[in-house]
Amino acid sequence: MAVRARGRPVSGLLVYAGGTRYDGVSGTDRHMADRLAGFTDVLYVDPPRPVTSGLRDPETGEAGHVLRAVRPGLWRLSPAAPPAAYRPGVDRLTAALSRRAVRGAARRLGRAVTAVVVAGSMDLIGVARGARTVRYVTDDLVAGASLIRMPAARLAAVERRMTARAGAVAVVSPDLADRVSRLGRTATLVPNGCDVSAYAGIEDAPLPDDLPAELADQPVAGFVGHVNARIDIALLEAVADNDTPLVLVGPVSAGYEPSRWPRLVERPNVHWVGRKAYEELPSYLRVMDVGLTPYTATAFNRASFPLKTLEYLAAGRGVVSTDLPATAWLAAGPLIPVARSPKEFAAAVAAELSVPRTPALVRRRREFAARHDWHQRVRLLADLLGMEIREVAGR
């Protein structure tokens, strides 16, 4: 949708610089931006996309920086960047172009930038003089350098610079709070959350037409999320080895386990349906009885706060997770069994599948998840920005 200039800035604008594209897999940044837009105007900024001559935005067909309206009070900016945008030297030009794109978008929207949240690796801390700024650390970028294909040394330097310059620092996990403290700052813990209301009618959600109908009458384990190097395929294989019906929902990264992944999804008891929109997830979670958080034991994962764990509980489903600091922080006790090896993981899944899903157990899971609702997380971030949380009419 085209966005046209409206003259001089007349109201405040929160710039949210995400670590992923707004239209990517729904994660921390999109959930936060969507909910912040209920209280103030938000400009979500995608990571800059490197372009070459003649290459246009795949969604709009426009060249250069692309600004589009998502819904009232929420806009999305996709900045263009030069080829090799993140190489040393070029990255400074990329950052300068991104800051210029944000200022230009604010002028076109007729808004003054009053607050900035930077969750990705692009330094937009100084994009607007006088704006309140928060560096929101949602991942250990240095530990995950290979995953996002950027030099670890560059990411470490960017992290130090943004941590030092931000007005406040927020993190999603206790591990990240420790990392920030080593950089000389105190961080506010703003963990990931969930939306319990999204699963209020899960038992009446339409059954997916790309899964066998008989799964609705069997104990089923499932995984929802991005299948990439963070996921321990040995744990999924161990679950499948038990002849447990296994449903996998989400995209798979190119090059992920090139021989083992195809063999896994070819098994008759394994059903991979690819990426689905967030709005479709209740249908797939309806089929599942136990959700899986099968993360590898890496520094990157230890610093993470998996969204899926709380989403499973919000849907009233059981959970089995690997041993993560975020899981320990939740202190959910028997609601989230923890396993440390493929054999333990498969056994824990089998044990959870044997537990009847009674109304009382579903209610207990959902009540626990409700204590970690996104609206509570947004309030923590809004406090750091000095925002007054008050619902805007019509949003």
Fill in the DSSP letter of residue 12.
E
Q: 208: domain range?
A: 196-370
Predicted local confidence at residue 394, as pLDDT: 53
Q: How many domains does the chain have?
A: 2
Please, how many CA atoms are within 13 Å of residue 80, restricted to the half-sphere of its CB?
17
Contact predicate 308/145, CB 8 Å: no
The phi, psi pair for 216, rounded to 5°, reads: -65, -20
Please check whether residues 28 and 109 belong to one and the same domain. Answer: yes
Q: Identify the pLDDT of residue 62.
A: 65
Residues 51 and 121 in one domain: yes
Which of 26, 35, 19, 18 has the alpha carbon at shortest distance from 249? 26
Q: Are residues 83 and 228 in the same domain?
A: no
**Per-residue model confidence (pLDDT) at position 4:** 40
> Residue 265: its pLDDT value, please?
98
Is 125 contained in some domain? yes
Decide if 331 is inside a domain.
yes
Inside any domain, residue 5 = no
* pLDDT value of position 59: 60
Q: Is residue 155 one of the residues assigned to a domain?
A: yes
Write the pLDDT tens digit of every residue in 119-156: 988 889 989 999 999 999 998 877 776 766 777 778 88
> Distance between CA atoms of 166 and 283, rounded to whole angstroms?
41
- In terms of C-beta density within 10 A (0-12 exposed, 13-18 middle, 19 or more buried), how is residue 139 classed? buried
Task: Extract the tokens encoding 23.
Answer: 């239209």
Tell me which residue has tokens 């406090």. Answer: 383
164 and 278 both lie in a single domain: no
Residues 240 and 365 in one domain: yes
User: Quick one: 232 and 356 in the same domain?
Assistant: yes
229 and 322 inside one domain: yes
- Structure pTM? 0.88
* Residue 120 lies inside a defined structural domain of this protein: yes
Q: 3-state DSSP helix/strand/coil percent for the chain, to nearest 5?
A: 40, 20, 45
pLDDT of residue 24: 82
Whether residue 133 is found in the same domain as residue 238: no
Q: What are phi and psi of 283, to 5 degrees?
A: -65, -40
Are residue 135 and residue 227 in the same domain, yes or no?
no
pLDDT at 3: 42
Residue with tokens 């990705």: 120
Tokens 């499932």 label which residue? 222
pLDDT of residue 152: 77
Residue 136 within a domain: yes
Residues 258 and 328 placed together within one structural domain of the fold: yes
Q: Are residues 22 and 104 in the same domain?
A: yes
The reply to whether 27 and 120 lie within a common domain is yes
Categorise residue 7: left if φ over 0, alpha if ψ from -120 to 50, beta otherwise: left
The domain that contains 209 carries what CATH number? 3.40.50.2000
Q: Which residues of the chain have a pLDDT value below 50?
A: 1-10, 53, 393
Residue 2 located in a structural domain: no
Is 6 inside a domain boundary?
Answer: no
